[in-house]
Chain A
Amino acid sequence: MQAQAPAVQSKSLFRSDAMQRLLAFGALIVLFIVFSLLSPNFLQFDNIVGILLATSVNGILALGVTFVIISGGIDLSVGTVMTLSAVMTGVFITMWGLPIPLGILAGLGTGALCGLVNGTVISRMKIPPFIATLGMFYISRGLALIFSGLKPVYFNDTPIFRDLAMGSILGAIIPGFDIPNAVLIMFGAALVAAFILNRTVLGRYTFAIGSNEEATRLSGVNVAFWKTSIYALCSAFAGLGGVVIASRLNSAQPALGAGYELDAIAAAVIGGTSLSGGEGTILGTVIGAFLISTLTNGLRILSVPQEWQIVVTGCILILAVFLDILRRRQR
């Protein structure tokens, strides 16, 4: 039983996987063509780098959220956990003068710890994920303000920290090809996420819990343990997002982050992750995140009034989920 369920899952997964990739990727290509035709300023190296950079933080958050959503849960705290992680990185590096690698670990650790709390509250205290993570949304938001002393923490004494996200290793290898490291970090994180989701026990149980939690539990899996791990993993990605955003802005902004969880969830859902659990891919999520930032950037380049930009983003989100429903019906 335990071995069977995941096997069936991964077979159907493969099919939906290929289809969804095609759809979301098709939409992304269409957007690129439309924007390129409408403005000569869209398809330019600097602007494409801008889009990639704008995707990086949301993409990293969305990677973690993908795990939680596949497991049938939701995480509303990723945005503010990201902020708290950024602040803790700032506290370690700037306030306490500790080495940069320790600061990065502090960011990741803060994230993982928040996730551990989320997972424990959800799986042991039986509080619904929506409420548990909403609680964490407030807690981490408040703690970010407290630890930062209510003002941004700047990394001015450690100029090298900024290079973590904004330097360009690629640019050093290939002159002129200055793609910021933040983008590489996102792709690296995506590879790690894909590996965990597709090749490890944690990934297999993520799908199993999302498809049928009760059956998974009855087949002898320690659901509480794995669920906690999933939330910890999700928040660890949020922690990584925090380190990247801190490096990008050269500061930890304590008031930032509320609302970012929705962008991350949108990216995962546009990428074909099913909100009812059991389905989703990392590649889909990455494409979903790109779709959102390409849309935002393109509309800006076209000087579409801002209020309309928001409306269009909403329409695209609904359209994307509608595509997903169409696909389901046909199966």
Chain B
Amino acid sequence: MKSLKFVAVLASLVAILGLLAACSPAQQAAVQQAAPTAAAAAKAVAPTVAAAAAAKTGDMYIPVISKGFQHQFWQAVKQGSEKAAKDLGVRITFEGPESESQVDKQIEMLQAAIDKKPAAICFAALDSKAAIPLLEKAKAANIPVIGFDSGVDSDIVKTTAATDNIAAAAAAADKMAALIGNEGEIAVIVHDQTSRTGIDRRDGFVNRIKEKYPNIKIVDIQYGGGDQLKSTDLAKAILQARPNLKGFFGANEGSIIGVLNAVKELKKEGKVVVIGYDSGKQQIDAIKAGTEAGAITQDPIGIGYKCVEAAVKAVKGETLPKTIDTGFHWYDKTNIDSDQIKPLLYN
């Protein structure tokens, strides 16, 4: 009786795994085929031979390791990389840790990706310095690494596909200045003070205001962890403390949604110029309704697409530029549905 139950439970455990494996039988077969090919390509001494072997991109496998996976932004990056995979006939997987503080979890993902013997790896490091030893391992195994988004702070990467966040946030500052008439008090909510994007967007915005607009005063900069609820509370406190506040900048999706919630809850719609970053349904709706003046959008789909495209080029032995600027755009009520902007926004 005892052993019977034990066997039954173990069997169900195996069944779960079997089911999962069965979900992607084609993928399994592809991995098994791709592995020897990629290994052979990597071992080939003459670059031309490697290029010839890899030119058949059908069996090329490229894991994409991002900084997250469940946020809309990363889903848009995923969409872009999947599109590139389809266009170029390669196979990708997309994964990232659950929160942007889990540096060690991301390292483990990178480790597993290298163990799968891929043709190339796309990687957006949470902390470049912590990832260097593994990247060196990838280099030793002749696996090209392509950086994307915040990229990898090392010359091991062949290239980095990313937004110039400093320039983008400075553009937001210019828009803010124009909309509030070049004077008054403004406040900023940033997602965090430790990540590259957080630092770049804050500094890009703050420095532009300081350099070009002496009559604008940034009265408060707060950090909400990109968490909508926390950012809401912060923004509310700022709005209540500063009745004369003329403008509010939110440096990522979570931050700006917090600002929008606060403005709405305090019934200050239209009284404060709100400028955001990235997109998402709530932000798009707010811009259409006029509660948000506009936002900077990166091109997440382009980031995903260009990093996979660069990875394929790297495997083929093509030379790549040091960075691939994936661009940014200002969008507001007037151009939100235009052909140029619409494809870049995600819901």
Could you say which residues of chain A place their CB within 8 Å of the CB of B20? 299, 302, 304, 308, 312
- Residues of B4-63 whose CB lies within 8 A of A: 5-6, 9-10, 12-14, 16-18, 20-21, 23-24, 27-28, 31-32, 35
Which chain A residues numbered 259 to 289 have a C-beta less than 8 Å away from chain B? 259
How distant is B298 from chain A, measured CB to nearest CB, in Å?
A: 22
Q: Judge whether B101 is part of the interface by a CB distance below 8 angstroms.
A: yes
Contact of B115 among A150, A249, A301 (CB under 8 A): A301
Produce 1/0 per residue, B112-139, CB < 8 A to A: 1111110000000001011011000000
Indicate if A143 sits at the interface (CB-CB under 8 A). no
| CB of A330 within 8 Å of the partner chain | yes
Contacts of A166 in B (CB 8 A): 133
For B13, give the chain A residue with the smallest CB separation: A319
Q: Which residue of A lies closest to B114 (CB)?
A: A46
Query: How many interface residues does B have (CB within 8 Å)?
Result: 51
**Cβ-based interface call for B182 (8 A):** no
Residue in contact with A250 in the complex, picked from B1, B95, B114, B129, CB distance below 8 Å:
B129
Distance between Cα atoms of A14 and B38 in the complex (Å): 51
Q: Which residues of B sit under 8 angstroms from A254, Cβ to Cβ?
A: 194
State which residues 286-331 of A face B: CB under 8 Å. 296-297, 299-304, 306-308, 312, 315-316, 319, 322-323, 326, 330
- Which of B103-111, B277-285, B338-346 has 4 or more CB atoms under 8 Å from chain A? B103-111
**A124 interface residue (CB < 8 Å to B):** no
For residue A303, which residues in chain B have a CB less than 8 angstroms away from its CB?
24, 27, 31, 93, 116
A13 at the interface (CB under 8 A from B): no
Q: Are A255 and B101 in contact (CB under 8 A)?
A: yes
Number of contacts between A and B (CB, 8 Å)? Answer: 133
- Quick check: which of A37-45, A95-103, A201-209, A227-235 contacts chain B, the rest being far away? A37-45
Q: How far is the CA of A256 from the CA of B101 in the complex (A)?
A: 5
A-side contacts of B24, CB under 8 Å: 302-304
Say whether, besides A41-B116, A50-B115, A245-B104, A251 and B5 are in contact (CB < 8 Å): no
B335, CB-defined interface residue at 8 Å: no
Distance in angstroms between the alpha carbons of A166 and B132 in the assembled complex? 13
Q: Which residue of A lies closest to B131 (CB)?
A: A249
Q: A164 vs B10: C-alpha distance in the bound complex, in angstroms? A: 38
A116-151 interface (Cβ within 8 A of B): 150-151
Is B267 part of the binding interface, using a Cβ–Cβ cutoff of 8 Å? no
Point out the residues of chain A lying under 8 angstroms from B14, CB to CB.
Answer: 30, 34
* A315 touching B16, Cβ below 8 Å: yes
CB-based contact A302/B35 at 8 Å: no
Q: Is the CB of B31 within 8 A of A249?
A: no
With A47-B115, A301-B116 known as contacts, the answer to whether A323 contacts B129 (CB < 8 A) is no
**B102 interface residue per 8 A CB criterion:** yes
Out of A150, A248, A297, A323, which one reaches B9, CB within 8 Å? Answer: A323
User: For the complex, what is the distance from the CA of A322 to the CA of B8, rounded to whole Å?
Assistant: 12
- Decide: A322 and B104 in contact? CB cutoff 8 A: no
User: Separation in Å of the B83 CB from the closest CB of chain A?
Assistant: 18
A50 touches B13 (CB 8 A): no
Judge whether A238 is part of the interface by a CB distance below 8 angstroms: no
**Is B325 an interface residue when CB atoms closer than 8 A count as contact?**
no
Q: Is A258 an interface residue (CB 8 A)?
A: yes
Give complex CA distance A41, B107 in Å.
Answer: 18
B127–A152 touching, CB < 8 Å: yes
Q: Which residue of A lies closest to B6 (CB)?
A: A23
Smallest Cβ-Cβ distance to A323: which chain B residue:
B9
Query: Any chain B CB within 8 A of the CB of A26?
Result: yes
Asked if B108 contacts A50 (CB within 8 A), the reply is yes
The smallest beta-carbon distance between A20 and chain B, in angstroms, is: 12
Q: How far is the CA of A47 from the CA of B134 in the complex (A)?
A: 13
Interface residues of B in 77-114 (CB under 8 A from A): 93-96, 98-99, 101-104, 107-109, 111-114
CA distance A161 to B31 in the complex (A): 38
Q: Which 3 A-B pairs have the closest CB atoms?
A: A255-B101, A300-B112, A249-B130
If A249-B127, A250-B130, A301-B112 are given as contacts, then 7 extra A-B residue pairs at C-beta distance below 8 Å, sorted by A number, are A41-B35, A251-B130, A256-B101, A257-B101, A302-B24, A306-B69, A316-B13
A-B contact pairs, 7 of them (CB 8 A): A31-B17, A151-B193, A249-B103, A249-B104, A249-B127, A249-B130, A303-B31
